[in-house]
Amino acid sequence: MSASPSRDLPLAWVTGASGLIGWELVRAARAGAAPGWRVRGLTRADVDLANPRAVDELFEQERPGLIVHCAALSRTGACQADPAQAFRQNVEVPLGLLERLSAGRFVFFSSDLVFDGLHGGYVETDPPHPVNVYGQTKWKTEQTVLSRPNALVIRTSLNYGHSLTGDRAFNEEMVNTWKSGRPVQAFVDEYRCPIAASETARWTWDLIRSGQSGVIHLAGAERLSRWQIATEIARHYPALNPRIIPVTLGEHVGPPRAPDVSLNCEQLSGCLGRPLPAFRPWLAGNEPIHTV
């Protein structure tokens, strides 16, 4: 899944290119957001990242100078049910790529779920304290990645968009539930900072061009509850007669959940000199009303 035809440019790998953020990064590169790089999106069909021999062979053939690592086991329930698999996919795979990229640049996508959610408004220097397996794997990988002086860790939040498979984005899960005639249950007391994956991709390429390293937060400018988010999305799908059932974290049965992992993104806004988009105005201006 190549995004730039010039063989004179250094190669950048984007892993997880069939996922939501990875696909948007490749699309943005094709639209000119990654000047100076020949971008190749890697999917499972290209290489099994959990197969060290296959990765070694491809790395020797292509020698990327930049890896933007988006691939992950990101479903919190799946991670909680199989911690060993979560560790393989979310720790061993990225650290294996990092080890191979001794002279290149590594960008690792992490999560707001490295925090426990006890106060919200987290800044980059707040100490992580994840409450579930997914967050724990992300935090473990962060620590090694950040030992590299030119590496970049991007913590993001819920990403909105339309994936190649139609089931990768949180909004697609909601819409598929409504299509099946079932209501969506949404927490009124769990807060995130949603952002469009297309915005995440553009901001990421800008960060790479800026030479930023260390850890940085990249999320939407609004702190919204899951219920508020679902309500806004429902407005765009009236034909589905979307129903939302408000619930509280006290009613939750399942993996531990962090109540408020809203991110403070002032460092990123200052770095690139512009404000991050607020989710509700972005949604109103970019998502059509689906009447059929």
Domain 11-286 CATH assignment equals 3.90.79.10:
no
Is beta strand 159-160 parallel, antiparallel or unpaired with respect to 105-111?
unpaired
Residue listed under structure tokens 């959610």: 117
Greatest Cα pair distance in the chain = 57
Spatial separation of the C-alpha atoms in residues 93 and 69, rounded to whole Å: 10
Residue with tokens 């191979």: 100
Closest CA to 264 of 276, 282, 274: 276
Which residues are CB-neighbours of 90 under 8 A, at least 6 positions away?
Answer: 72, 73, 79, 134, 137, 138, 141
Return all residues near 167 (Cβ < 8 A) that are at least 6 apart: 173, 176
pLDDT for position 292: 83
Cα–Cα distance measured from residue 46 to residue 34, given in angstroms and rounded to the nearest whole number: 21
The domain ranges of the chain are 11-286
Backbone angles phi, psi at 190, to 5 degrees: -120, 125
Distance CA(264)–CA(284), nearest Å, equals 23
d(Cα 117, Cα 257) in Å, to the nearest integer?
8
Closest CA to 14 of 109, 96, 92, 102: 109
The alpha carbon of 67 is separated from its chain's Cα centroid by a whole number of angstroms, namely 15
pLDDT in tens, the chain (292 residues): 655 446 789 999 999 999 999 999 999 999 999 999 999 999 999 999 999 999 999 999 999 999 999 999 999 999 999 999 999 999 999 999 999 998 899 999 999 999 999 999 999 999 999 999 999 999 999 999 999 999 999 999 999 999 999 999 999 999 999 999 999 999 999 999 999 999 999 999 999 999 999 999 999 999 999 999 999 999 999 999 999 999 999 999 988 999 999 999 999 999 999 999 999 999 999 999 999 8
pLDDT at position 8 is: 86
The DSSP line for the chain is: -BS---TTSPEEEEESTTSHHHHHHHHHHHTTSSTT-EEEEE-TTT--TT-HHHHHHHHHHH--SEEEE------HHHHHH-HHHHHIIIIIHHHHHHHH-SSSEEEEEEEGGGS--SS--B-TTSPP--SSHHHHHHHHHHHHHTTSTT-EEEEE--EE---SSS-SSHHHHHHHHHHTTPPEEEESS-EE--EEHHHHHHHHHHHHHHT--EEEEE--S--EEHHHHHHHHHTT-GGG---EEEE-GGG--SS---SB--B--HHHHHHHTSPPPPHHHHHHHHS-----
